[in-house]
Amino acid sequence: MDGGSEDLLHRVQRVLCETDLDFCRQALEILKVLASRLPISQASLSLIDAHLANLPAVLRSSGQGCLTPDSADIQPDAGWHPLLDGGTLILPLQQGTRLLGRLGLHGLPHPDALAPRQTDLQLICAQLSLLALGELRLQQERRKNTRLRFLTEITRRINQAGSVAQMCAELLATLVREGKAVLAAVHPMTSEADAQPPQVETAVDYRSARACLHQLAAALHAEALGAGRIVQRDQFDQEPFQHLDLPFSALALPLEFDGRVLGTLVLIFSNQPQTSALLTPERDKPFFCDLAVQVAEAWGRISALQSLAQVSRENDRKLREISFLYHISRAMHGTRGLDELVHFILSVTVLPEGPGCERAMIFMINERSRFLQGMLGITHDGSPGAWTPRIAQSDLIQPLVPPEVQLEQKKSALSRLVQQQRLPLDDPRSPVARAAREGRAVLVQAGQDPAGAIGDLKLGTHICVPLRGRDRILAVLITDNCSSAMHLDQVDRRFLELFANQVGAAMESAMLVQQIKNAHHDLRVAQENLLQTEKLATLGEFAASVAHELKNPLVCVGGFAQRLLKQVPEQTRAWDYAEIIAREVRRVEDMLNNILSFSKRRMMCFSECNIIEVIGSALTLLSRELTEADITIVQQLDPDIQPIIGDHAQLRQVLINLFSNARDAMSAGGTLTVRAFPSTLRGDPAVTVEVADTGGGIPADVLRNIFNPFFTTKSGGTGLGLPISHRIMEHHRGTLSVVNNAQGATFTLQLPQARQRFMPA
């Protein structure tokens, strides 16, 4: 070996021993030594897998020390190339059978010029092969460590996410920002009923092609789901992707957890040589598979935690609802009055821990009249001093709502407005009526049902819930948010319906208890009346027997008194005595006849009759007496009055008694007003007759006793006229009542119309 060879190898060895130089600088220094020690103009080094280690494809150097890394690989195959750069000799860099790169010696006029250096060049090529192999392995390890750190960081971020959306956002942002992906997308696997849009992150430089890239990602997602496996693509010749000028490679990975596909992860990378992507689908497919496993496990874990949290919240809500309904049922249990119960129901309806509405109203159903009548309305008052029911600590002995609170709630502006409302039950536009008819809750959003608006209530978003008894709808509960939008989901509606079921059962119980109380009171009154009737019957029988026994002696006394009047001269003392005896005997006989008439049950002849004709007949009989008493008769008779069923003579007697009493009350003259018009009696069609006088009215202590037998304020009266009239009205299934008006007294008779057939008692 000559001195030049020793100097060449020595200098190459020195460069290799300089540990502070990286691969590129060492390689360029070696090329510089070759260019300066050999008869060439330049030396170059190209690596086959330079892109794997992020190295320049070609390194060039001249003997003058110019170090130039080149990105273009222009090295041909090994051998002599006389036409390349003034003659170029290409030497292969191999490690076993693996070709690592090529060493190019340029500006060589003839290959034989380097024949003496053949061995040196082989040694130098071996050294460069070892150097390149070490660098490639070092860069691969570094790249592997970088990918592991990248995977660890992504795993840490997605595992710290609190929701699937947050996890996907962290994953996609990291893949685009740090992984240098052009696009990263997660497409959830959802049903049509629960469709969720995909989450997509696109690199800033590629946002102009965002629409096309999104279509490509959607197509890859569909292909991966259809194939059930990983889909990798680097050619996109079909529409609409063929117009993309830049080369791309894409990867779609199914995200599978616990045997169920949750979605897909779609990644698109650029294949441009200058792109320094940390990851590529071709080389890092195992990495992406590991990443997909990590994402799917994190997704499944977060979904499980969210489901567990949702179940926990649902159970807590159900527990609160059950506790609330239990306390409500316990508080409403017992013999509570309906009025007090309604106040309590509406008070708890506006509680935040209950239905939590702003206003609550109840409309009671009247099946007979087919109307919904507003009963009560309550507004939530959140002030510190406002009264609120304590359902968990309610004392069953104490009132549910204090009486003073009930009075205040009744006098509130909302309650007065509600009580003014009377809604037709058959109105097809009214949501309140529809809830009552159909027996189901009706939700009305604010402003969506102006045709069904309720008076001046100005309802916002409200829900009408029927309050159902055992076999019928009792009322409708309206919960309203008038100042804010109220969202009612299916769960809220179900809770309101459960609450309404409890309320409906409690209201029906209260109504049944009230009916039992009323029946008990009526039974007690009936028993008292029966006892009084028995007493009166006994007294009547006794009076009848006494009257019968007295009539015979009275006939004798009256007869002899009449004889004395005929035999004794008039205007004498004896004649006066006889006249007094005869007059008093006639009065006693009249009294005995009334007693016998009151004590006996008369046979009544019921037939269809016109009440206007009965009134005219009675007035005709008393017209002379009324005219002489200076009494003006005013008749206000409705000509459309329907016929009634009754005894014409008995009804005329009742009216004669009333007209006679009015004449006696108006001794100084006055006005007798008789009115007749259609009305209702116990919910059925009826006829009402009013007899009003201007006699100054009846004193209160007298008014409550005028229908008692033998009670009278007249010096010569028997006290049986009004009791007999009252009994006649009872036999006709009618009523007779009296009230004082502004100028006198008004007697009111009510009789059922002819279609209400009955038999006399």
Q: Give SS3 for 723.
A: helix
The mean pLDDT of the chain is 79
Stretch 217-225: mean pLDDT = 87
pLDDT band at 363 (very low <50, low <70, confident <90, very high): very high
For 475, the token pair is 């009322």
Q: Is the pLDDT assigned to residue 131 strictly greater than 50?
A: yes
pLDDT at residue 516, rounded to an integer: 85
Find the Cα–Cα–Cα–Cα dihedral 442, 447, 453, 456, rounded to 10°.
130
pLDDT per residue over 625-682, tens digit each?
888 888 888 899 888 888 888 888 888 888 888 888 888 888 888 888 999 998 888 8
pLDDT band at 77 (very low <50, low <70, confident <90, very high): confident
pLDDT per residue over 451-480, tens digit each?
556 777 778 778 888 988 888 888 999 888
pLDDT at residue 271, rounded to an integer: 73
Find the Cα–Cα–Cα–Cα dihedral 67, 72, 78, 79, rounded to 10°.
-70
Stretch 190-204: mean pLDDT = 73
CA distance 658 to 648: 16
pLDDT band at 1 (very low <50, low <70, confident <90, very high): very low
Stretch 152-156: mean pLDDT = 81
Do the Cβ atoms of 739 and 732 come closer than 8 Å? no
Q: Is the pLDDT assigned to residue 392 strictly greater than 80?
A: no
Do the Cβ atoms of 110 and 116 come closer than 8 Å? no
Stretch 80-101: mean pLDDT = 84
Q: Tell the burial category of 368 from Cβ atoms under 10 Å away from its Cβ (0-12, 13-18, 19+).
A: exposed
Find the Cα–Cα–Cα–Cα dihedral 286, 287, 293, 294, rounded to 10°.
170
CA distance 505 to 359: 22
CA distance 704 to 53: 117
Do the Cβ atoms of 443 and 488 come closer than 8 Å? yes
Do the Cβ atoms of 523 and 491 come closer than 8 Å? no
For 589, the token pair is 């006989």
DSSP 325-364: HHHHHHHH-SS--HHHHHHHHHHHHT-TTTT--SEEEEEE
Q: Tell the burial category of 78 from Cβ atoms under 10 Å away from its Cβ (0-12, 13-18, 19+).
A: middle
Phi, then psi, of 61 in degrees rounded to 5: -155, 145
pTM given for the model: 0.48
pLDDT per residue over 492-510, tens digit each?
677 777 888 888 888 888 8
pLDDT per residue over 19-46, tens digit each?
677 778 888 888 888 888 888 888 888 8
For 323, the token pair is 């506790």
Q: Is the pLDDT assigned to residue 144 strictly greater than 80?
A: no
Q: Which of 693, 653, 337, 722 is nearest to 516 (CA)?
A: 337
CA distance 761 to 759: 6
Stretch 382-406: mean pLDDT = 68
pLDDT over 70, % of the chain:
81
Q: Most confidently modeled of 277-281, 457-461, 537-541? A: 457-461
* Total Cβ atoms within 10 A of residue 485: 9
Ranking 131-145, 163-177, 209-223 by mean pLDDT, the lowest is 131-145
Stretch 283-295: mean pLDDT = 81
Q: β-strands 88-95, 684-692: how paired?
A: unpaired
Q: Is the pLDDT assigned to residue 296 strictly greater than 50?
A: yes
Residues β-bridged to residue 269? 249
For 368, the token pair is 């007979």
Q: Is the pLDDT assigned to residue 281 strictly greater than 80?
A: no
Q: Give SS3 for 102.
A: strand
DSSP 523-568: HHHHHHHHHHHHHHHHHHHHHHHHHHHHHHHHHHHHHHHHHHHHHS
For 561, the token pair is 């008194």
Type and span of the H or E element at 679: strand 670-681
Q: Is the pLDDT assigned to residue 269 strictly greater than 50?
A: yes
pLDDT band at 195 (very low <50, low <70, confident <90, very high): low
CA distance 62 to 32: 6
Phi, then psi, of 89 in degrees rounded to 5: -110, 120
pLDDT at residue 730, rounded to an integer: 84
